Structure 1
């Protein structure tokens, strides 16, 4: 203790315990009971309070002038400390500042802050304070804070490429903290950065053995992925691409996402050499890998160039190759937002059931963190403008990004220093060479004039030349003269894709390939024009065309052979946006009845699959009464909540598009039902704007369809969405309208669920008597309708309200009954809510042990279900209970865990019982 510039010693052990207890709770009252517990290690004497008063007097005298800061406040004492006077608080503030620096990737500042914090560290906290309980409480969180700060300092050092210094520090730290995987991770990265690959692999084997011996577990996915990257870099032969680890090993797979290279790619040698030279220069000089901006007209071969070159240099990017179509110029689909693009890119590194942070900024930070130390090739195809691309650019030195766009991307060139590569049509020799590659030199030499005419009619556009070449290759009986005459005789154009008066007539070029298709493939092609995306699975295509799966698969492969589609992977195909526009024009050949049936099958595929996914995510929810789907519809099979979340994550952009499309085309029953299925997924991902938008669209659709049940359901969901934006006005008019509608159609289950929603709303408003009354009504209607899930939820709601009103015994009975019923029904989310309520009630009853058990069980259930918001709020209530009963150290540790989750998600939620 300092009194001014003088150090004031406190010789007595008991007085040191007293002073430490007050300082550890600075500016807060520490009760006699807490002080006695710490002074006598849980065994205070009967005269403890009198003795404590004596100790306080002695401590005030020992501290001299500073003793006046110890003040009496019922039911104990506090010590007054000003900001900046307490070293533990200063240490914690510096550690938190360093954490924020790391989030902003301000690595040099992060290192400096940690150094400042560590300068305050002497030895184990409270080492000279003879109170095992106080040491256990305070040392744990301070020590954890120090280790986290050290981990952050090592991460910053690696980011700054201070490998030698980092290795020297980390080798000592991993001996001191052998179970901290992040320290081992940083050590392995630093060793690899120094070129000590063998040592890096040996370090991995050491940590694997330690974890197996001590905990009986394998290293986590990040360490395993790092190990695989180093192995791939070490074992890949020069000029080849390292093999990805075999499926099923439990290790993270290296992404290899480049589409198949163009077998008949020809020309562009000058551009290929230019790209390679830029990469070689960056490697040779140690400068950051460049951003390459490839631009040009539609069909000029931008994607083909990027993919072909990507395959040539793939072996130089051992951490993988990413590919993403940004849909910047899609004829009917909205371009990907940067946030949606980041979601897709993150899915390349995270398992399907991994939970993403909720806030866009947290997702962007996670993406940058994951790719920061990697050597990746990232192909961002079909970008609209620089603003779409800029948030996707990695911050690491070894990640090369190649962007393709119809726009020049001048903003990217000006601000990010991107290197522009402008593609024009092929030189005449290369255009002729493309035909030679596909049709054979002898065939062209027999009809040189016709070959030159074909090149001229295609305007040397690679896409057009590829389609013509495919037509000629599949029809060898046709002469080149006949092909040229056929082209010249077609008088149509895809006007919207003409970039200038000299651009090729792509519609005519596509038409003669289309006319050669079998009836089945032609029909499939026409229906693909109705599909609002470029990539489609065989299952969806079969539903759209109303064909058996085998027939649809054969038709899609025929289209791929004719270069009207490209095979993207097993049972997945993609269509160039120009080709898709042409397919949309051909769809007009179908009768209105056939078109409507196709759209119903498409919407049914996504509605029924989404409904199944929604049931798997939240079985407590009242399901939709769906009849059989349109004949010819095929569904995607889903069996558990992990598959459901992965499916939603892959399809959510298209699902949102389909809701809007159904609204525009007045498929009203599909519109509101499909929007209804998205509620829980959108809420769990924090996409609350999308949630509110889709429910407003759904409400209008339900009203237009005169579907009273649908309108009532959507009114409830609109109320729920409004509450997420803190719109808590009175008894929400949406819920009152829903109640009237359910009364009108005599739906007792719907009435019960609506009363439950009203109870939730009133609880959030603090109107607990009203919430209790609504909960009782919900119970009555659930009992009448036989809605066991609603009955269990209403019991929990009633118990929560009774607890808030002080009726703890009744609250305990209701919530325990709710828990038992949820267990019998297998509703794990309901179990988690009930455990949370029981934790709150036991805490209010003074039974801390039972409260802690219940809170922990609730948190574990939410974690298993992937609901990070409820997990965080459960941790926060556990922290409040621990602090309330004097366990402030553990309470702080738990609260910090909750704070991390909430900061990562970018929002603070409210508990809904």
Structure 2
């Protein structure tokens, strides 16, 4: 929706070009009081004062809220919101408010050194005025604001008049200046402007007479004489001083116009264009913007688009040079060659150009001094190539494009870096629209969507795809989509029509400059299992020490071949990945290193989360160059690496690395349980079970048990029981008492979901007996707690409490926080079933707190469920509602539909 808010005249609002009704005068006061500080909070007291002043009604706040409600209804496209003690009118662009736009244009006019452009900006600002500001509003605030805006208007009128006089437009100014001088008879600046215009139009006597009139009025009304400037102007008019003539541009000044044609089919980049405008604003120095990005990302197109849009800001010309920093067909342009070219464009005869490069650069700086020039240095290789081409005096602006970051320009010359990234979906679609045509794209929406996805917002790839479509007008776009679909041939398709300018050629220019370490890391990053990679995984992938890998990554980022979307995580564009992977040497060995890195690191993280977790006994050597990690914060590490771990498991299965695929499932058991990602956990263990089929019987038993637990957490009980029975059979055959104990424990938990507490107690008791036989102290605590849980559910509270007490002793002895939290949950259930609701609430809340500290959010939903029942037993219905609402949100997040429905029913009953 387009919005226009006008206050430089009557207060008006337009929504999509149609006027909106603001209501009566006092309601207009409210709107204006918010709009004058658009996007800022106006405190309620201040708002009341602006609307009524000292005459505010007794219930001003209530009346104000009524007006705000009416305004919201009348202005559906605008947001009037309550914020921290006040209200704010929110708009996407503050310049939709004419007061803000007026101030913006005036500021720009006052900071530009080009008089013609400054006049245009002033004129745009003055045209916004439709009459008296805030017309019809009469509060003290409105009157004071109107006076302030009138002073700003008068100042702008005086400023633009000075510029018009400077440009020799005095002839048309006289009527306007006569009127202004009459309106402001004591303003000496207005008087001086009229006197100068009269003098230049041959009306010297009238100019002198006006001076005498002003001098007499000042003496009569203020008892003062004219100021120094007006007296000096009077004297110069008396003597016809030549300094009063219109300044003239030197006749021999050459105005270069070296910009190439504007880019065709340009689309999007609104944010980047705005950032360039901000970076190149005239601040009294030489502003420099450095556009950085990969080859083919559209740096040159962006620079030229901005330069042509702002060409009027540089009336003294534009200089442009392609420095060929990454051109395979020619060596880079030397600074001396570029300077000589600039001097020729500025009208310097070749024989007048000195031979010494430093002298050439000095002459160049002298020639551009005092001029308003834009200098575009395209495709720069490094800082040394750019520095001699920088102007040395204010008035000029410089745009540099490069694949390298050119940090020296930032640190030494204050350049503003601008990273050119890929186009978003709408921008990419607009580019194809501009090149191929809207009708043709609309005829094949599915093919177009696939082409956009396969080009990935990469401007060069999109342009090449558009070119192929243009030169084959009779061919369906679906054929082009088919050609691009195969990753192994995609680059070839994008290179076919113009091999020297395709994606491969563009990337080869950058690749050929890399050192051995940089090339190794770059090519192997094309094999990354997930979307991105961290330093530790990259070091294992490359088989290099972490320090050398980190340096190579930094160098590649400087060359715009990789990027960090988040700190410490590196990624490539899909097309760059394809190119890199095609250049990789011994890719299978590199993939093996990184897959084992992820598998071993996941196991290490799992052991930190649960030191008692029984790791499958298997021995496989770590490949040379692989450097597994022991995560210090496993939950955070798993959060970051989750997608990469899933991709690594997929690659392991594809290559037949079965043990690594199984380890990747086993190493994430505790993480997925604590995060409540049960659907993902099931998929992980389906892959783990497929890998286990190629391993020993014990590994298969573990896979069946974990699959059973995964099914049970999704309430897929028949599948869960079937898998757990398979696991029990395997471990009984193998005589593995420890694994039998863990599997009986799992079976007890599954049968609980069927409300078969007797059967659950039977399996929990068997699990406890086995734990006692093998002397595993921690497992003894776990199984005692499990037995106490089912005893409590069966109403045997005394014996349940004793088992829970012994379990708590074990966990506190072993400093096992997870076990202690679990046992507090059991004690809470025992207390709640025994009618000791206050004790139950205490136990549940302590358990919730401990689980939160551990990052285990799976069980917290059930704990809030039970906490709600205990609170209800205490008669605290509001607290019970809050607990159950919390449980409902967590059940919903975990996609536990049966629990979601049950919780909704409980809340409904509570109502």
TM-score in terms of structure 1 length: 0.47
- Higher relative contact order (CA closer than 8 Å, sequence separation 6+): 1
Q: Which structure has the larger Rg over C-alpha atoms?
A: 2
**Structure 2 length-normalised TM:** 0.47
